[in-house]
Structure 1
Amino acid sequence: MIELIKQIGLTKKQWWLIALGALGWIATIVASGLGWNPFPVNWSFTNSGAFGDSFAPISALMALIAALGAVGAYKIQSSEIARIRAREEEFDKIAQSDRARAISRQELLDRQTQKQIFENTFFQLLKSHRDLVNGLDLTERETGRQHQGHDVFRLMIEKFKEILNGDRTVKNVARVWESFSEHFRYDINHYFRMMYHIVKYIDNSEIEDKYLYIQILRASLSEGEIALLALSCDYGEGRQKFKVLVEKYALLHNLSEHEIRFWKLRSKYSKSAFSRDMGSTDFNEYNSGGGFGS
């Protein structure tokens, strides 16, 4: 009721005047009913009817009060509806914020799970590759000395250079590589296919920092392995598919300057093959194709 009175908008003084006026009329009616006649008029139905008509202003006043009450009630209802709508909108915003946080948490969990799965597979592949290297062995015919693991690749490169006999023309290197890769096909073909699939696995993944895992792989390669990788991608099967990945991820980065110059690799590879910072950082420009491995 108090809220309704406030919504009508009348002052306290105005409300007091209306109340006093209404009480005055009511007091007059009651006094007349008790026999008090302040007017020199004989009472009759006709006179009482005329007297009743004199209350028309009161009726009008009460109608006005009712109208003002209706207006006040409408304002109160409108204000309440507006508050309810504002509250609902606030609840909707809170609900949307909660859903967004829930989605964000789920996406984070999905990324963490995806990373864990990726790393488990990556390090298993890397272990298999290292086991393959450690399982390699090579015996020198002249001395009978046996070489194992990374040392096998060092010896292969030395023998390759010995067979070249100083002739490092493209034609001669290609000829020697063909004979070399055929002689060691059971060792190096399997080795390079395994390495290719590891790099391709990183490249195809949706992991954020792919280069970090490339660095881990790259750090495990010996000088001889990197040199043979460069030759394979220049003269062997790696030309078709692996070379673009070598240039994309700077797989020749740890190769010594001596080996780079000896094999004239800077004229055969883009700068990005030796240093990621020197090459393009937009990996989308690379497209793999061909058939090194499956």
Structure 2
Amino acid sequence: MIERIENHWRSIKAGIKSDRPMDVGKALTKAFLTVVAILAILPQVDSEGDWQFRAFALLFSPSNEIGDTFAGVAGVLAFLWIIVTVWLQSEELAEQRKELKRQADEFNAMNTNLRSQQFETTFFELLRTHSEIVGGLDVVKKDSKDKLAEGRDCFVFYYRELNKVYREKLKKHDEGVALFYAYKDFWNRRGNDLGHYFRFLYNCFRVLEDEKEFSKPRHAKLLRAQLSDAELLLLFYNCVSLKGEPFQTYANKFELFDNLPTLKLLNHSHIGLLGSEAFGNNPKLTPNENRKLERAHISALETSVRSRP
């Protein structure tokens, strides 16, 4: 009997300590009913001085007292289980919030992944369009309509033309003025061919800037890799012109002239027309520095050949 009582109280304690509302509710109900049962079997003295159990005294009490007693017991149990119900509902709401958050996180992840895929698709479509624009260029001789250059070779032709105009302007003007008028004359002649090219390339870099969440350094590198040396040279002089000045923002942001062949500039001093951030890791070699590197490399090759058996 004592063992049963101990087991009963142990189960009540375990239930109360549980983090499950139903177990706590059952344990508190058992505890309350146990207390009620103990109170019911406790003896008391009646009005005539005799001892009797309270339960028996209650049976012979007026009906309103019996009703009040059971109502009190039922009220406590009802209040107890209201608390348990609220607890259960709060846990269910917490689980619902967790599930909604999980679903929201999954949706956001899916949406982010979808937007990333859309950006990748858009980016490579831009690369393809850029190649088509370059491939569609041509230089036609006015008289015979013969093609002097087409596709990417047009930029070599354009740059030679700019160089020729620049050399002519140098005969009449100082360096800065000569470059200004040289590019102005060149643009008046070739702007109709190159305007679309420069505007499209500008917007390609703007897409990378606007989509910072998805654009990575590799995207800028891939776009820069599309540009030939002649394209970079023309793009450089477009950036330092009045018309192309807005392009400098993206030139600095994406180190656009990291691979610019600075030795082929119209004048090596023109490097100073743009900030150093636009050149990235470009060594910006001067002709003298380049000759020294070439001589050192030739010397190393000769030494390597002589050292072979």
TM norm structure 1: 0.66
The structure 1 residue matched to 2:48, chosen from 54, 58, 78, is 54
What's 1:272 paired with?
277
CA distance in 1 between partners of 2:77 and 2:36 (Å): 18
Matches within 5 A, 1:43-192: 54=48, 58=52, 62-63=57-58, 73-138=74-139, 146-165=148-167, 167=170, 169-192=175-198
Correspondence for 2:257? 252
Mark the CA change 1:88 to 1:146 in structure 2 (over 3 Å): closer, same or farther: same
Q: 1:102 to 1:157 in 2, by over 3 A?
A: same
Pairwise CA distance, 1:104: 1.4
Mapped to 1, the partners of 2:28 and 2:72 lie a distance apart of 12
Q: Is the alpha carbon distance of 1:211 and 1:78 closer, same or farther for their aligned partners in structure 2, counting shifts above 3 Å?
A: same
Flag the 1:4–1:202 CA change in 2: closer, same or farther, 3 A: closer
1:82: Cα distance to partner?
Answer: 2.6
The residue that corresponds to 2:207 in the other structure is 201
Distance in 2 between residues matched to 1:88 and 1:109, nearest whole Å: 31
Q: SS in structure 1 opposite 2:238?
A: helix
CA deviation after TM superposition for structure 1 residue 164, in Å: 2.8
Q: Describe the SS at the equivalent of 2:258.
A: coil
Partner of 2:302: none
Which of 218, 227, 234 aligns to 2:233? It is 227
Q: How many residues align?
A: 243
Residues 246, 273 of structure 1: 8 Å contact kept: yes
Q: Report what 1:7 is aligned to.
A: 32
**Structure 2 runs not aligned, ≥5 long:** 1-25, 282-309
- In structure 2, do the counterparts of structure 1 residues 5 and 172 end up closer, same or farther at CA, with 3 Å as the change threshold? closer
Shift, 1:161, TM fit: 2.6
Residue 132 to residue 8, structure 1, CA distance change in 2 (3 Å): closer
User: 1:135/1:81 Cα in 2 relative to 1: closer, same or farther (>3 Å)?
Assistant: same
CA deviations over 1:256-277 (Å, ceiling 9, x no partner): 342469453442222321229x
Q: Deviation digits for residues 95-139 of structure 1, max 9, x if unmatched? A: 001111111122222222323333333322321221111222336
Q: 2:229 is aligned with what amino acid?
A: E
Q: Tell which deviates more after alignment, 244-253 or 222-231.
A: 244-253
CA-CA distance at 1:59 after TM superposition: 8.8
CA distance in 1 between partners of 2:71 and 2:181 (Å): 105
Contact 2:166 2:178 (8 Å CA) reproduced: yes
Flag the 1:74–1:163 CA change in 2: closer, same or farther, 3 A.
Answer: same
Sequence identity percentage: 19
Superposition deviation, residue 87 in structure 1: 1.5
Query: Higher RCO, 1 or 2 (CA under 8 Å, sep at least 6)?
Result: 1
Secondary structure, counterpart of 2:32 in structure 1: helix
Q: 1:243 aligns with which of 248, 253, 261?
A: 248
Larger radius of gyration between Structure 1 and Structure 2: 1
